[in-house]
Amino acid sequence: MVTRSSSEWHGGWWRAARALPSPNFDVRPEGLPITLAVLHSISLPPGEYGGDAIERLFCNRLDWDAHPYYARIRGLRVSAHFLVRRDGSLLQFVSCEHRAWHAGQSIWRGHEDCNHYSIGIEIEGLEGDSFEATQYVRVATLLRALSRRYPIEEVVGHEDIAPGRKFDPGAGFDWVGLRRVLRRKRPSLPRALR
b/e sequence 71-84, b meaning 16+ C-beta within 10 Å: eeeeeeebbbbbbb
Query: So what's the pLDDT on residue 8?
Result: 93
Residue 163's region, left for phi above 0, alpha for psi from -120 to 50, else beta, is beta
Q: Which residues of the chain have pLDDT under 70?
A: 1-6, 193-194
**Contact predicate 153/36, CB 8 Å:** yes
Query: So what's the pLDDT on residue 175?
Result: 96
110-128 residue pLDDT tens = 999 999 999 999 999 999 8
Query: So what's the pLDDT on residue 10?
Result: 96
Query: So what's the pLDDT on residue 191?
Result: 80
CA–CA separation, 163 and 148 (whole Å): 29
Query: So what's the pLDDT on residue 185?
Result: 77
Q: How many CB atoms lie within 10 A of CB 69?
A: 13
Query: So what's the pLDDT on residue 4?
Result: 53
**Contact predicate 137/131, CB 8 Å:** no
> How is the chain split into domains, by residue range?
4-193
CA–CA separation, 14 and 37 (whole Å): 15
Class assignment of domain 4-193? Answer: alpha beta
Could you say which of 55, 122, 127, 159 is catalytic?
Answer: 122
Asked about 122 being catalytic, the answer comes back as: yes
Query: So what's the pLDDT on residue 149?
Result: 97
